[in-house]
Amino acid sequence: MLTKEQYLNLHGQFYDSFISTTGSYFSYDRYSIVSYKSKELRWPIFHAMAKDFIRELLNAINGYCTDLRKLESWNSVLERCENEYKFDFITEIINPFASYTLNYVSVIKQRMIYTACMLSHQTAMLLDPSIRDKDLVEHQIKFKSLKAYSDHYTHMNAFRKALKQIDSDSFRNRTSNFRNLYHHRIPPGFELGLSGSIKRVAERNKNVSYDFGGIQPLRIGELIPLLYEQYQANISAFQIFWDLVKEQVSIWEKN
């Protein structure tokens, strides 16, 4: 366990590094929806939803930019950390924060899927009276749910394509499938130690074999560029999400 002196010293180094970094953040003023009087009684519902969803997505993406700056700063501290307490530093500070930033890539993606489905459903009911509000079951919303709205909105397919770049197969492979293993099995560690020294393999012929070796730890310095790529993918997806919202607002304006 880190001593109080070590803990304060590490955080002091972190602070000095963090304030020297900069980030690119979304401006909230650019993504506002004008409230106007609509003949359609459901407009206030759509407007309130869109306003809340956009704000929360911007909060998440901007917050993630700050998190990545923090991870960079912690990595700079790690590079200078004395060996005598490096293990404690990694265990107590690096591990939880790195785990959080890796998991949050998928969190933002799922929130965009949810918000897009909710807004698309509201507008779809305006376009097609046969669609009922109860047709959408919130807890069943997932990426495939967006396909149902592809014929309604010109920006939906581009949005779905952009979402596929977030938490992509390539990202999962390059991070040793960390998020899935973290939630369902045993994930690789960070910087130190092997995990999963034995792996059970279920083969196609239903036979079972075992592999020995283990998973190498993830290196923070190697993760940071990958996470910034995912951050940019989130930005790209949000920009198309905003185009989708504007498209739907124009539909409401005509009714």
Q: Answer yes or no: is 184 within a domain.
A: yes
Q: Answer yes or no: is 98 within a domain.
A: yes
The CA-based dihedral angle spanning residues 140, 52, 42, 154, taken in that order and rounded to the nearest 10 degrees: -70
How far, CA to CA in Å, does 203 sit from each of 101, 206, 207, 208, 223?
33, 5, 5, 6, 31
| Sign of the dihedral through C-alpha 151, 152, 154, 159 | negative
Q: Answer yes or no: is 25 within a domain.
A: no
- The pLDDT assigned to 16 comes to 97
Q: The tokens 């704000």 sit on which residue? A: 55
Q: Answer yes or no: is 26 within a domain.
A: no
Which residue range(s) make up the domain with 240? 4-18+38-253
Kindly report, residue by residue over 111-152, the tens digit of the pLDDT: 999 999 999 999 999 999 999 999 999 999 999 999 999 999
- The pLDDT assigned to 139 comes to 93
Kindly report, residue by residue over 183-223, the tens digit of the pLDDT: 998 899 999 988 877 888 888 888 898 888 778 999 999 99
Q: Answer yes or no: is 132 within a domain.
A: yes
Q: Answer yes or no: is 24 within a domain.
A: no
**For helices 220-253 and 156-163, angle between their N-to-C axes, nearest 10 degrees:** 170
How far apart (Å, rounded) are the C-alpha atoms in residues 213 and 215?
7
Q: State the total domains in the chain.
A: 1
Q: The tokens 């581009």 sit on which residue? A: 158
- The pLDDT assigned to 5 comes to 96
pLDDT at 169 over 80: yes
pLDDT at 39 over 80: no
- The pLDDT assigned to 38 comes to 65
- The pLDDT assigned to 194 comes to 83
For residue 36, name the pLDDT band (cuts at 50, 70, 90).
confident
- The pLDDT assigned to 209 comes to 85
- The pLDDT assigned to 37 comes to 65
Q: The tokens 């899927």 sit on which residue? A: 113
Kindly report, residue by residue over 5-16, the tens digit of the pLDDT: 999 999 999 999
Assess contact for 253 and 97: CB atoms under 8 A: no
The average confidence (pLDDT) of the chain is: 94
Q: Answer yes or no: is 158 within a domain.
A: yes
Q: Answer yes or no: is 113 within a domain.
A: yes
Q: Give the Cβ contact number of residue 117 at 10 Å.
A: 21
pTM above the 0.75 mark? Answer: yes
pLDDT at 167 over 70: yes
How far apart (Å, rounded) are the C-alpha atoms in residues 125 and 118?
11
Which amino acid is present at 125?
M
